[in-house]
Amino acid sequence: MDLLERTPPHFYTEEHFAFRNSLRRFVDTEIEPFVEGWDEAETFPRELYKKAADIGLLGVGFPEEYGGTEADIYYGLIGAEEMARCGAGGLVASLLSHTIGAPPIRNVGNKAQKEKYLPKILSGELISALAITEPSGGSDVANLKTTAIRDGDHFVVNGSKTFITSGMRADVYTVAVRTGEPGMGGVSLLLIDRDTPGFDRTPLKKMGWWASDTATLYFDDCRVPAENLLGTENMGFPAIMLNFNSERLWLAAGCVSFARTCFNEVAAYAKGRMVFGKPLSEKQVIRHKLVQMAQSINATQAYLDQISYLVQNGEQPIADICMLKNQATETMEFCAREGVQIMGGAGFMRGPKVERIYREVRVNAIGGGAEEIMRDLASRQLGI
């Protein structure tokens, strides 16, 4: 039994609890025994997508007619929380890369596009990735450089994307391109299949998220059928922003759970580690560190529950979503740092979850919108 368990909101239903329990069994049996080896190997079996689909994880929030499960926002957040218990963010990011790659298909795609791609993505047959960030910039989406020029019944795509999760193994990519004038008014979204001529990929090595394949994508006169345009031409920017808000909530839920995972591993270590004849946990300074960790986790969890409730009920508190995302990554960073410090040399060795999580702190503070961008966006929303 974990010392610090997530206190569920009062509005969770029996179905929410059943879904959480199913995911917990999945993580305990299909991921925990193997995740350390997968992280060291910098990959994981493709079969895991099918297993995740079989328990309903991949289909959460997608229409039933395409193999999904209509669900409120809490199911997605439960998924992020439970998956983070394995302590390997790279595996979670790649296994669930469809949660950022496929929503634009659901949200603005036409019926033919949904029928072609969503059933295979949600069944684990196809892997979906989102490609927005470019070598010239990440958060400044309105100024992306990759172009898509209309040529008859095709778009000719030229440019590159980088830091793309599932960039090597994905089968279909939701790609942000410039089809019009400079600025946000000229951005569109295209679906590009992996075998498109002129499309190439190279893998990237990372500080953390080892089990996640990350890549730079290259488009050299790629001819993409015009029927692969998602939504209205030059109207891709709003769809991207809608995607970001959902991603930031999902990231916040994962970060709180990673922080809680740090606490539980380190608290158990401190209770069993003997120092000068007594458990390490009997040292006042260690107990205080653990209390500070628990305090930060519980406060951030309360903020997450509040904001997710507002979003579930139709609001879009953008400033709060930005501040929550930063609060969650700062909590994760604090708990990972203190966790490694409490474990000492053992925390610096490969193997403990806290060591993996420590390596993955910065990617969470950058991905989905860097801390500095989040503060700037929040300040504008707050009118300051």
Sequential DSSP letters for 110-165: -HHHHHHHHHHHHTTSS-EEEE--BTTBSS-GGG---EEEEETTEEEEEEEEEEEE
Residues 58 and 80 reside in one and the same domain: yes
Using CA atoms, how far apart are residues 201 and 220, in angstroms rounded to an integer?
Answer: 11
Number of domains into which the chain is organized: 3
Residues 336 and 208 reside in one and the same domain: no
DSSP H or E run through 175: strand 172-178
DSSP H or E run through 15: helix 14-26
Domain ranges, residue 55: 14-122
Q: Are 51 and 30 in contact (CB under 8 A)?
A: yes
> Is residue 354 in a domain?
yes
3 state DSSP class of 242: helix
Residues 175 and 230 reside in one and the same domain: yes
Among the listed residues 81, 82, 134, 247, the single catalytic one is 247
Q: Are 360 and 335 in contact (CB under 8 A)?
A: no
Can you read off the two tokens belonging to residue 83? 């998956």
Instruction: Identify whether 333 is a catalytic site residue.
Output: no
> Is residue 50 in a domain?
yes
Residue 28 DSSP code: I
Domain boundary among 122, 143, 161: 122
Q: Are 281 and 293 in contact (CB under 8 A)?
A: no
Neighbour tally for 140: CB within 10 Å: 11
> Is residue 169 in a domain?
yes
CATH code of the domain containing 330: 1.20.140.10
Domain boundary among 79, 101, 122: 122
Residues 279 and 366 reside in one and the same domain: yes
Using CA atoms, how far apart are residues 236 and 243, in angstroms rounded to an integer?
Answer: 11
CATH code of the domain containing 184: 2.40.110.10
| pLDDT tens-place values along the chain, 384 residues long | 678 888 888 889 999 999 999 999 999 999 999 999 999 999 999 999 999 999 999 999 999 999 999 999 999 999 999 999 999 999 999 999 999 999 999 999 999 999 999 999 999 999 999 999 999 876 778 889 999 999 999 999 999 999 999 999 999 999 999 999 999 999 999 999 999 999 999 999 999 999 999 999 999 999 999 999 999 999 999 999 888 888 999 999 999 999 999 999 999 999 999 999 999 999 999 999 999 999 999 999 999 999 999 999 999 999 999 999 999 999 999 999 999 999 999 999 999 999 999 999 999 999 998 999 999 999 999 998
